[in-house]
Amino acid sequence: MSILQAIRIFLFYLLLGTSSLLWCTLSFFVAPFLPFRKRYRFINVYWCRFAVLLTQVVLGIRYKITGAENVPETPCVILSNHQSTWETFFLSAYFQPLSQVLKRELLYVPFFGWAMAMLRPIAIDRDNPKEALRHVAKKGDELLKQGVWVLIFPEGTRVPHGQVGKFSRGGTALAVNAGLPVLPIAHNAGKYWPKSGWGKQAGVIEVVIGQPMYAEGSGPRAIADLNNRAEAWNVATQQALGSLPPATENAEQRTA
């Protein structure tokens, strides 16, 4: 890493951290008096757009979207691979209002957590997986009925660029039970914003939005089938982006 790039990264995090503190503090005093949709825009959309813009200007990380025409008018469950923090910023601003799963402990962080709590997140206790799944199903269904997008990272955690995690069925179960499709999204953000470390690399993140996928029937079998199709689409799309090795080689790695 060059000295200039190190300076850029330091400046980026300094501006990002400062803006987060100031905006969350302001939101804590202003947002409670706004209706939910305006509150979401005030707290999340404006700041996340700023974060994405800051990433472009300071770090030289831009993005390109393919498949924007596939986004349905009615909010549904979004299934995206997870490689970095960037896609959290981007998706939170692109789909609105949007709720996502997060650790319950984050809501206790002064100002930041208090502001997040006003966005109707699906806060779970990760030490109790069974209860967490029940809460995601119940809360997610309520939000979808209220016209809120629900973002699920089916891999469960950030996965390094060049790899893909096994998709859990929580997102597809939520969609099937609600009678809604899943909207698959694939990207290569981790190529420029790695999962770990402070390093960043200038370039163009490619975001691909697929066509909505519907379950064929209902029940556990339909949920599993939809999940398998969403995972297969994500793998194939990442292969097309050059983020994963060719199909035969990738299959050998996943079964090894």
CATH for 225: 3.40.1130
pLDDT exceeds cutoff 50 at 256: no
d(CA 171, CA 226): 10
Mean pLDDT of 4-13: 93
Q: Total domain count for the chain?
A: 1
| pLDDT, position 249 | 56
Confidence class of residue 198 from pLDDT cuts 50, 70 and 90?
confident
pLDDT for 57: 97
| Per-residue H/E/C for 9-34 | HHHHHHHHHHHHHHHHHHHHHHHHHC
Q: What's this model's pTM, rounded to 2 decimal places?
A: 0.91
* 215: confidence class by pLDDT, cuts 50, 70, 90: very high
Which residues span the domain enclosing 148? 3-255
What strands, in cross-sheet order, belong to the sheet with 77-80?
A: 61-66, 203-209, 182-187, 77-80, 149-152, 98-103, 122-124
Position 182 scores a pLDDT of 97
**Mean pLDDT score of the chain:** 91
Instruction: Kindly state the average pLDDT of the residues 154-174.
Output: 93
What's the average model confidence in pLDDT over 165-194?
95
List, for residues 63-112, the tens digit of each pLDDT value: 999 999 999 999 999 999 999 999 999 999 999 999 998 888 888 887 77
Determine the average pLDDT of the residues in 202-226.
95
Q: What is the mean pLDDT of residues 169-197?
A: 94
pLDDT at 217: 86
Could you tell me the two tokens for 2? Answer: 């060059």
DSSP secondary-structure letter at 156?
Answer: S
Q: What is the mean pLDDT of residues 161-190?
A: 95
pLDDT bucket at 248, cuts 50 / 70 / 90: low
Distance CA 1, CA 148 (A): 41
| pLDDT reported for residue 60 | 96
Looking at residue 106, its pLDDT comes to 83
Predicted local distance difference test score (pLDDT) of residue 129: 80
- Examine the pLDDT at 254 and tell me if it is beyond 80: no
Q: Is the pLDDT of residue 14 over 50?
A: yes
